[in-house]
Structure 1
């Protein structure tokens, strides 16, 4: 059983990511003399002040993650965000001051984004954000690039993380882990095979989707709401972007979609998405040794999953 990261070790990781971002910024011609860390959880996010540029550095990744896969995913994110920006969709766009590609520095892969001022006193309005999401789906429909089917689910990491949890009985009971692995055995074919998914849900259209709950990733800037954080952009059903949301937010999405003449959410597809999402939560327990604070955030969702029906009650 591997030891959990201490606060000191986490601070050292943050410092290393920060220094890597500064060095990478200087390499591409920026002069960050007053940098400030804006966020530090799964990624370290640094405003490279006085430059109007933000660096984002993923730091909490499944053990054994291939750095080339990380860079490929980041390139998809940069390309999608830039394309949306060029179409006039309100997004936080890649910085135009540096090449639009990830920069490898030390053990980190770094991307650069435009700095945007947050509206004073801004509080997230998740119902409004859910109502904004159909417009994003409409914009994404025409994206010309190739995206992996349900790549946001990261099935390879989900499989390996569930296996890794056998080494951490303090994080999940053996009986619960066995149930999670049995659920994943049922759901995995539909996540890894577009053909199997389409066979199960023949009336469900597929398109590019944000991949990571856009209602929770809309930034309230001084100029209005901006879609952000396309790290998990994928090909999939629009329901993927509604996974884990309470009913009232799904209803807000559906009302907005209906008003725009767009596809509303399908309850069966949403049940599938939620079942996969709950397994992703279980698998994320494997990252607790790298980020111990995660345990407090994940515990309520794990308890909810334990009370629910096997695989969300799906009959596949």
Structure 2
């Protein structure tokens, strides 16, 4: 009995068709059929009923399927364990990041990981923070850098990278630019420019306003901090940003702290519990890069 025979057996059982199974395992249909026949000879029983159009399992086939899957899973686990020890991690990693948010340490971490583990194919996508969390949760993404409020998203592990206060970005001469912190009531007395729903910063701002019974007038929305700063600089509304987002625009914007916005805006790494070795390795690179 050979490992590839078990692989072909599981493929036919799941596809219920020899042709589709052959396409799945990338060999000819005759090759799959021959290996299944050899497996049946070794086991002393037919595994498929070939009289019908679909390849259906016999009683013996049903009995063997669970064990074949377990054997293949055990081999994968052994390969992964050896790879973790030797550093020969392979596979694919899908990483997500907040739309419009250039985070240089994340790029440094990805580059260092790519150098150390060239056998892993990396992909990077942008999305709003709630979409990133959903992607990690459903397995579409392996790791994401997303904006969050207090508390980890349900079902996920997190590592906070940045924790910052909210600021009100306004041009010189604006009533809120007179110096010193401002409060949410003063901010929401003006039109507001902020990120769209689903962004971590927007979630924090909405929660802080709701806690004080305030209903801001959202004049404009933009996914990128620089776009919010540009709109605020043109007097189109008070820009809601974090401290670091506003720091690069000090030449044209004042950014007083919103003192009663009690919840900080967090930027955090998100991943599923019990991560695979490749994710653990990337997390370690992120720890070094962000430190």
Q: TM-score, normalised by structure 1?
A: 0.25
Instruction: Name the structure where strand makes up a greater proportion of residues.
Output: 2
